[in-house]
């Protein structure tokens, strides 16, 4: 018996919506909301398109990178992230601000070879290196127009059974997933024919060690003081927190999540694959065999100095950015003109985010900064209008344990 949802992808939008509405018992108001949020162009990006799921976009201000100030669009639903990024950027804005460099911008992929003589494969790849590069380039010749192309191959022994033939590619201004996958398949086919070996798969890797942004920034300790702590005391606490993130995986995970709060939000705003950046960052944090914080903070005379090496595998052209019009506008707002500038702004934002989070954590505690925004969210989610919001939030601030019920009671009193 045929299921009504068989061949779901072949059905019209109206048919799919009707099946979903029936299965989930959606109301007319809910269906209207799905329809209002629908952008038909999104069907060019994903399968079985239903609607668009909007997320808030804001602007981090005051981020100075290599002497140039940027406004950075950020897409996030988390309260206080943008405020923290702006605060961290301000602290690091003295002089030329945050210094960033991108020594290389290469992506890589691997061809997995099974049950082959490792010496034979290694010698073959070495002897025929230029021919293999030529085969890769010929499979995707358009990348050569922009100064890119295959740059080299290497062989790694994974086990007695498996080898990895690794291909390095300069994909120009594109993130390059399609480029490198096409090249890998061409090289894989030729290797199989020439060596009569079995290749298990040919695919890019999201591990990135040659598209790294080197980031550093410093802030005068005098700028870090609070009502209860001197600047040097705060600086020492931040340095201590940084050191703990190098020692303890539990702290390192949260430390890095704070960095990625800023990174992901900017990557999304620029129309790039934030999941690829996340996976690359966390794998890089564990490259030594122990998962550690991506950034470090140390005291140098009267300065607190932060340093970070961060993989940022993103592109300036192609991919989803072609069909997401806001991505182009956001790049214009940020005043970036190529992939290296984009990578640097993203990584610098991550360092600024990290500084602000650590400063909050070791001084007032992380909840104080979150609380006002969380109270606003609590009030709005329980029916508070924008006109009522200031009064409701003030009343909630005076309560030990504000809840949905207390919001409703406040509104009931206000509306009498």
Catalytic residue positions, numbered:
78, 257, 273, 370
Please state whether 2 falls in left (phi above 0), alpha (psi between -120 and 50) or beta.
Answer: beta
Consecutive H or E run containing 280: helix 274-285
- Residue 175 to residues 132, 169, 265, Cα–Cα distance (Å): 22, 11, 17
Strand partners, 311: 212
Contact 98, 215 (CB under 8 A): yes
Strand partners, 58: 74
Q: For residues 382 and 373, what is the distance between their CA atoms, to the nearest angstrom?
A: 14
Contact 69, 62 (CB under 8 A): yes
- Residue 190 to residues 183, 198, 360, Cα–Cα distance (Å): 11, 11, 56
Number of other residues whose CB lies within 10 A of the CB of residue 74: 26
Strand partners, 305: 218, 298
Q: For residues 301 and 254, what is the distance between their CA atoms, to the nearest angstrom?
A: 28
User: CB-based contacts of 73: which residues, under 8 Å, 6+ apart?
Assistant: 57, 58, 59, 266, 269, 270, 330, 333, 334
Q: For residues 171 and 136, what is the distance between their CA atoms, to the nearest angstrom?
A: 12
Q: For residues 189 and 168, what is the distance between their CA atoms, to the nearest angstrom?
A: 17
User: CB-based contacts of 249: which residues, under 8 Å, 6+ apart?
Assistant: 290, 291
Q: For residues 299 and 303, what is the distance between their CA atoms, to the nearest angstrom?
A: 6
Q: How many residues does the chain have?
A: 416
Q: For residues 24 and 18, what is the distance between their CA atoms, to the nearest angstrom?
A: 10
- From 345, 269, 337, 281, select the one nearest 310 (Cα to Cα): 281
Contact 397, 372 (CB under 8 A): yes
44 CA to centre of own chain: 23
């Amino acid at each position: 018996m045929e299921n009504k949802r068989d061949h779901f992808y072949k059905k019209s939008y109206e048919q799919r919506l009707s099946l979903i509405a029936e299965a989930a018992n959606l109301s007319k108001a809910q269906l209207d909301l799905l329809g209002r949020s629908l952008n038909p162009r999104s069907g060019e990006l994903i399968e079985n398109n239903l609607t668009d799921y909007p997320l808030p976009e804001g602007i981090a201000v005051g981020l100075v990178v290599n002497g140039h100030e940027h406004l950075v669009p950020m897409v996030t639903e988390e309260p206080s992230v943008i405020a923290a990024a702006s605060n961290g950027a301000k602290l690091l804005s003295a002089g030329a601000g945050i210094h960033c460099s991108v020594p290389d911008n290469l992506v890589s992929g691997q061809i997995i070879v099974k049950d082959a003589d490792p010496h034979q494969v290694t010698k073959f790849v070495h002897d025929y290196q230029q021919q293999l590069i030529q085969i890769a380039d010929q499979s995707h010749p358009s990348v050569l127009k922009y100064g890119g192309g295959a740059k080299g191959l290497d062989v790694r022994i994974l086990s007695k059974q498996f080898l990895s033939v690794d291909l390095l590619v300069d994909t120009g201004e594109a993130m390059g997933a399609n480029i490198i996958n096409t090249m890998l398949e061409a090289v894989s086919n030729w290797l199989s024919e020439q060596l009569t070996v079995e290749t298990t798969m040919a695919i890019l890797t999201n591990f990135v060690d040659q598209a790294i942004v080197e980031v550093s920034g410093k802030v005068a300790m005098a700028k870090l003081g609070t009502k209860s702590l001197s600047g040097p005391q705060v600086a020492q606490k931040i340095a201590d927190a940084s050191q703990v993130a190098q020692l303890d995986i539990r702290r390192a995970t949260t430390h890095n999540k704070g960095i990625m709060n800023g990174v992901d939000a900017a990557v999304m705003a620029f129309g790039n694959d934030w999941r690829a950046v996340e996976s690359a960052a966390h794998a890089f944090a564990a490259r030594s065999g122990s998962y550690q914080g991506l950034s470090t903070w140390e005291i140098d005379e009267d300065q607190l100095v932060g340093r970070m090496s961060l993989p940022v595998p993103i592109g300036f052209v192609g991919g989803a950015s072609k069909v997401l019009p806001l991505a182009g506008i956001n790049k214009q707002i940020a005043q970036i003109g190529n992939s290296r500038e984009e990578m640097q702004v993203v990584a610098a934002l991550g360092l600024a985010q990290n500084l602000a989070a650590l400063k909050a954590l070791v001084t007032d505690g992380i909840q104080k900064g979150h609380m006002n925004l969380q109270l606003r969210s609590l009030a709005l989610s329980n029916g508070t209008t924008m006109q009522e919001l200031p009064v409701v939030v003030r009343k909630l601030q005076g309560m030990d344990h504000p809840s949905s019920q207390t919001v409703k009671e406040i509104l009931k009193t206000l509306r009498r």
